[in-house]
Amino acid sequence: MSYIAKPKVAHPGLPRNELGLSLRDYEGGMSTLCAGCGHDSITAALVQAAFELSIPPHRMAKLSGIGCSSKTPAYFASASHGFNSVHGRMASVATGANAANRELTYIGVSGDGDTLSIGLGQFCHAIRRNLDMLYVIENNGVYGLTKGQFSASADVGSKAKKGEVNQQPPIDPCMLALSIGCTFVARSFSGDKEHLVPLLKAGIRHRGFAMIDVISPCVTFNDHEGSTKSYDFTRKHRQAAIYADYVPPAQEIRSGQAAGSVQSVTLHDGSRVLLRKVGADYDATDRMAAFGYLSQRQAAGEIVTGLLFIDEGKPDMHEVQATPDQPLNEVPYARLNPGQKALDAIQSRFR
């Protein structure tokens, strides 16, 4: 919730995207999060992703709930409409917004508290509807704004800053999302922009619900010895299952990208995600295999990252609802009004 205006100065030599816009055009207000916060790195990755995809900023809508994570939509794309909703309820607002105008790009930013505790229900049901949006969880395992309580993603045995040890099992958003039919499940790390940006781009282009769980250490309340969401712990225990590259519709696949064991998945708009496998047997289009692999690695104490599962074939909410192609908010009233004759016909059954 920045109230410090960020000066918009674009160096004339800055790279431009297809719209002729520079990275500056995708930036937002000055962050008011703690210095070194993982969330700010995710914001920077989102700026990069939107810039590289050449999305007109005013055709994006940013949505969030409440918490440190949910403040971040103010820090990118100041030329996009933003909706900082109530705690844990961003998914329903995004559902209604998307129902009204299916043509915008919806980017939701939430946190582990906002998604996995207070907002768990709405998160699950947005997944079940296959709502077409990117849903980023900035996951630090802790309630930052209220100063350090455990969240539902805190691991058993993880230590709070004041020494308390978490006893309750965590909710893993990736496992949960896989189990309820999510069509795009990924995990990344705020400290690895090279890894995160292609995932964000693929998630934005995915037709359906794209969930990216981004481990984002809280430098103030959860970056100490004994925390399992610290920079140090994440770097040591991170197990990249699969690296994702995003290839826009018109671009050829270069040989370098295709080297090794590569899986290519074509997205709805013709763009592709190239998945370089680390685990040789990993198949990101096999939900059961993904579930099994995640469970195994989790038992071994590893955090698996990458595009863990993708299914481009499932209908999204609008297809299920059989809504028209024209956004509902643009249908002129003349076509919505059934008129007196129709009203008379209805009333004839009530006599």
Partner 1 sequence: MSQTPRDNDFTVKIANVNGTGSASANTLLMKSFFRMGIPVAGKNYFPSNIQGLPTWYEIRASRDGYICRSGRVDVMVAMNAQTYRKDLAEVAAGGYLIYDSTWPRDRQLARDDITVLGVPLARMCNERFSRARERVLMKNIAYVGVLAALLDIDMNVVRSLLQESYGAKPQLLDSNQAAFDLGYRYAIENFSCPLPFRAQLMDATSGHIMIDGNTTAALGALFAGATVVGWYPITPSTSVIDAFRRYAERLRKDPQTGRSNVAIIQAEDELAAIGMVLGASWNGARSFTSTSGPGISLMNEFLGYAYFTEIPAVVVNVQRCGPSTGMPTRTQQADIMACAYASHGDTRHVLLFPANPEEAFYLSAVAFDLAERLQTPVIVLTDLDIGMNDWMCRDLKWDAGYQPDRGKVMSAAQLEAIEKFHRYLDVDHDGIPWRSLPGVHPKGAYFTRGSGHNMYGAYTEDAKEYQHVVDRLRLKWETAKTLVPEPVVDQSERHRTGIISVGSCDGAVREARDRLAAAGVGTNYLRVKAFPFGKAVQDFLDAHDRVYVVEQNRDAQLRALLLLETRVGQDKLVSVLHYDGLPVTAASIVDGINQDMARGKAA
Q: Which residues are at the interface with partner 1 (CB under 8 A)?
A: 1-3, 56-59, 61, 63, 73-74, 78-86, 89, 91-101, 103-104, 121-122, 124-125, 129, 317-318, 321-325, 328-329, 331, 333, 335-340, 342-343, 346-347, 350-351
In whole angstroms, the minimum distance from the beta carbon of 122 to partner 1 comes to 6
Q: Toward partner 1, which CB reaches closer, 252 or 325?
A: 325
In whole angstroms, the minimum distance from the beta carbon of 191 to partner 1 comes to 27
Q: Toward partner 1, which CB reaches closer, 162 or 351?
A: 351
In whole angstroms, the minimum distance from the beta carbon of 196 to partner 1 comes to 24
In whole angstroms, the minimum distance from the beta carbon of 188 to partner 1 comes to 26
Q: Toward partner 1, which CB reaches closer, 78 or 228?
A: 78
In whole angstroms, the minimum distance from the beta carbon of 320 to partner 1 comes to 10
In whole angstroms, the minimum distance from the beta carbon of 157 to partner 1 comes to 32
Q: Toward partner 1, which CB reaches closer, 13 or 96?
A: 96
Q: Toward partner 1, which CB reaches closer, 61 or 137?
A: 61
Q: Toward partner 1, which CB reaches closer, 156 or 346?
A: 346
Q: Toward partner 1, which CB reaches closer, 238 or 318?
A: 318
Alpha-carbon gap, residue 232 to 230, rounded angstroms: 5
Alpha-carbon gap, residue 70 to 73, rounded angstroms: 7
In whole angstroms, the minimum distance from the beta carbon of 273 to partner 1 comes to 26
Alpha-carbon gap, residue 105 to 57, rounded angstroms: 9
Alpha-carbon gap, residue 202 to 188, rounded angstroms: 13
